[in-house]
Structure 1
Amino acid sequence: MSDAYHDRLRSDSDDAPSRRDFLKTGALGALALGTGGMASTASGKPRTDVSGIEAPGDAKNIIFLVSDGMSAGTLTMADLHLRRHHGRRSNWLRLYEEGRVRHGLMDMAAANSIVTGSAAAASSWGSGHRVFNEAVNMSEDGEKYRTILEIFRDAGKGTGLVTTTRITHATPSGFGINMPARWSEDKIAAQHLEREYDVLMGGGARHFDSDQRDDGQNLFQAFEDKGYTVAQSKSGLNTWGHEGAFLGTFYDTHLPYVLDHQNISSHQQRVPRLPEMTDAALQRLSQNNDGFL
């Protein structure tokens, strides 16, 4: 950074991050993603069994949060923005700094490139295999890898996907779908019907709509025939009683960005936000006594 830029930082308002804050936060963000931790409880203290030996414990439910393309730099930038404009820390980095969560660095690289696409990255979480970019949980020769949602479903546990992208998009599909090409989203929508996961929420209505699908199939009706509650608006989500299986596609493509949602009344009336979808999904999935993913 130039001397002039340093001078501008020093002369900024009192709540602006200093250069020392910037470097400290950047180092913390890198450390948070680049190191591992011992198993611990929410208090930050290691969990021990009756003999005093550290034990990891068992998880009944798993909530897997994915921010597509998030790096240490993204965490740092978000933290700096929140401190400057809202006077608070990022929850992510605060939890790391307080030692309340475990953290580490994961390599989700594609099988054929050091530049990884969303489908390959999600598939490495979803099936435990490296796949070629553009594929979803499939090998180059067509082998289908069993996905984590299928494993949970077949074990009698609750299963759900909630996303701000199209529900047929690469990142959510990577946890429960097998497809040789990520862009085959009409086929991914049909496979969601076959897989019968409990909760599906996001955008992508066009891939279920008979008027927009190439094959003319009405997947909305097909889901209803399988016993799903189908909703295409916020009101449909709000009137759902959190019983049975649920398909919610609240926009033709990805859900609107937060800034657009805040400024366009039709979005506010028709399109639910991620917290609303998550709350509804958890109310449904938590009814499964065997746990959920």
Structure 2
Amino acid sequence: MECGRIYSSNQKEVSQIMRRTVIVLLLVLALAVSLSAAPKNVILLIGDGMGVAHVTAARIATGGPGARLAMDQMPVTGFVTTYSADSYVTDSAAAATAIASGVKTANYVVGLTPDGRRTRTVLEAARDSGKKTGLVTTDAITGATPAGFAAHVTGRDQSAQIAVDLINANIDVLIGGGRSAFLPKEVPGSSRTDDKDLLAEAKSKGWQVISSAEEFNLASGSKLIALLALGALTTKDPEPPLSALTSKAISILSSGKKGFFLMVEGAQIDTSSHANNFESCVRQTLEFDKAVAAALEFAHKDRNTLVIVTADHETGGLALPADGSKIKNAWGSGGHTAVVTPIYAYGPGSDKFAGLIDNTDIARRIAELWKIKIGVIEDKN
């Protein structure tokens, strides 16, 4: 009897252990499936010029070396190589083309291969599949990074043509600065040399077009163009912060039944780093991180959104050497560098962005998840 009771007791323990093991395995499998599943939405946030040292400095500024930013909470991390087709050190145009279409091109070129063939971007392919699309930046909306997702020009300074391309791309949400490139030449502040009134054209096609912070706060509807400055934004009051711009875009795009693609750029990390302005660089990185937090807040609730955070390149060669028991900042350059940039991911499909990847892999892996075609189009521009 004693043996029987012992055997029965052991059998129950083994059974319980097996049950727990099965539950753990199922949870692990469910997590693996969720990490590799295709998301309904993708939010890609690009900190222009943001390297590992920039993130470290921002983290320390929030509460010391043990503090954590919103991007630090994202479970999948890695690094990105950023070289262009003609240089170890990329510029923002070539980097944006690579990130947006999975194709390397020469510095200064937007949305074309070095020999002039058009590329198809993840935004364009998402739009063609029925998803809503948006671009948000603190730069001019015609700047190299947003332009890389929907424009196709031989030079990043061709803002007049980039503006035309952006309107023709039928993007649901455009938020940033750069209004000057959309105004006819006779309007004060216009940078165009022709009579095209692209904002009037956009209104006629159904966009709500606004140009002030007051209008922005009240904006609603399904299509929005908010160009809040003639040039780049100042990122100061009374302009809405990047986090508010991001939340507004998400609120509009999330009404789409088939999902959406949104790119958000924090541009002034780069501007501050070119100037070797450490205080401004840290502030801009923290402002960018607030936009990351806004994206993650939506993704946590939605549970069907992939959030990716990365940079197009590192700017300034920033280092943080010891200064007694503290640190100081040391800049190695006033330009871009060739070092890898960080990448963070959260949500369905995030496992595809772990480890060391190339900037072209970002668009390619989003395309794989969504089963859309991107890359080189065989006709010449």
TM-score, structure 2 as length reference: 0.57
1:219 to 198, 202, 205: 198
Aligned to 1:63, what secondary structure does the other structure show?
A: strand
1:161 to 135, 138, 160: 135
Deviation per CA, 1:244-270: give whole Å up to 9, x if none.
31111001111103xxx2xxxxx41xx
Deviation per CA, 1:66-112: give whole Å up to 9, x if none.
00011111111111222259x9432333x2xxxx5211112221100
Aligned residue number for residue 69 of structure 1: 49
Aligned residue number for residue 56 of structure 1: 36
Decide whether the 8 Å contact of 1:110 with 1:121 is kept in 2: yes
Aligned length: 231
Decide whether the 8 Å contact of 2:110 with 2:144 is kept in 1: yes
Q: Matched residues in 1 for 2:33 and 2:69: separation?
A: 33
Deviation at 1:202, TM superposition (A): 0.1
Deviation at 1:272, TM superposition (A): 2.0
Aligned residue number for residue 253 of structure 2: 285
Q: Matched residues in 1 for 2:179 and 2:217: separation?
A: 18
The 1:110/1:84 distance shift into structure 2, 3 A limit, reads: same
- Which structure's relative contact order is higher, taking Cα pairs within 8 Å and 6+ residues apart? 2
Aligned to 2:257, what secondary structure does the other structure show?
A: coil
The residue type equivalent to 2:29 in the other structure is: T
2:151 to 177, 181, 189: 177
Larger radius of gyration: 2
Aligned to 2:166, what secondary structure does the other structure show?
A: helix
1:256 equivalent to 2:256? Answer: no
TM-score, structure 1 as length reference: 0.74
The residue type equivalent to 1:247 in the other structure is: I
1:78 equivalent to 2:61? Answer: no
The 1:287/1:251 distance shift into structure 2, 3 A limit, reads: same
Aligned residue number for residue 203 of structure 1: 177
The residue type equivalent to 2:216 in the other structure is: L
Deviation per CA, 1:214-250: give whole Å up to 9, x if none.
1132111111111111000112222222x23111100
RMSD across aligned positions (CA): 2.2
The 1:186/1:84 distance shift into structure 2, 3 A limit, reads: same
Q: Matched residues in 2 for 1:291 and 1:92: separation?
A: 23
Paired residues for 1:187-198 under 5 Å = 187-198=161-172
Aligned residue number for residue 12 of structure 1: none
Aligned to 2:118, what secondary structure does the other structure show?
A: coil
1:133 equivalent to 2:107? Answer: yes
Deviation at 1:204, TM superposition (A): 0.3
1:238 equivalent to 2:217? Answer: yes
1:151 equivalent to 2:151? Answer: no
The 1:47/1:157 distance shift into structure 2, 3 A limit, reads: farther
Aligned to 1:65, what secondary structure does the other structure show?
A: strand
- Structure 2 residue runs of 5 or longer lacking an equivalent are 1-25, 262-381
Deviation per CA, 1:174-226: give whole Å up to 9, x if none.
12221111100111011111111100000001111112111132111111111
Aligned to 1:255, what secondary structure does the other structure show?
A: coil
The residue type equivalent to 2:213 in the other structure is: K
Q: Matched residues in 2 for 1:149 and 1:110: separation?
A: 21
Q: Matched residues in 1 for 2:64 and 2:55: separation?
A: 14
Q: Matched residues in 2 for 1:230 and 1:135: separation?
A: 29
Decide whether the 8 Å contact of 2:85 with 2:114 is kept in 1: no
Deviation at 1:55, TM superposition (A): 6.1
The 1:55/1:170 distance shift into structure 2, 3 A limit, reads: closer
Q: Matched residues in 2 for 1:183 and 1:144: separation?
A: 18
The 1:256/1:218 distance shift into structure 2, 3 A limit, reads: same
Aligned residue number for residue 69 of structure 2: 90
Deviation at 1:168, TM superposition (A): 0.3
Which structure features the higher share of strand residues?
2
- Percent identity of equivalent pairs: 32
Q: Matched residues in 2 for 1:89 and 1:283: separation?
A: 27
Mean alpha-carbon deviation: is it higher for 214-223 or for 162-171?
A: 214-223
The 1:83/1:219 distance shift into structure 2, 3 A limit, reads: same
The 1:207/1:53 distance shift into structure 2, 3 A limit, reads: closer
Deviation at 1:47, TM superposition (A): 5.0
Q: Matched residues in 2 for 1:170 and 1:230: separation?
A: 22
Decide whether the 8 Å contact of 1:233 with 1:272 is kept in 2: no
The 1:69/1:217 distance shift into structure 2, 3 A limit, reads: same
The residue type equivalent to 2:42 in the other structure is: I
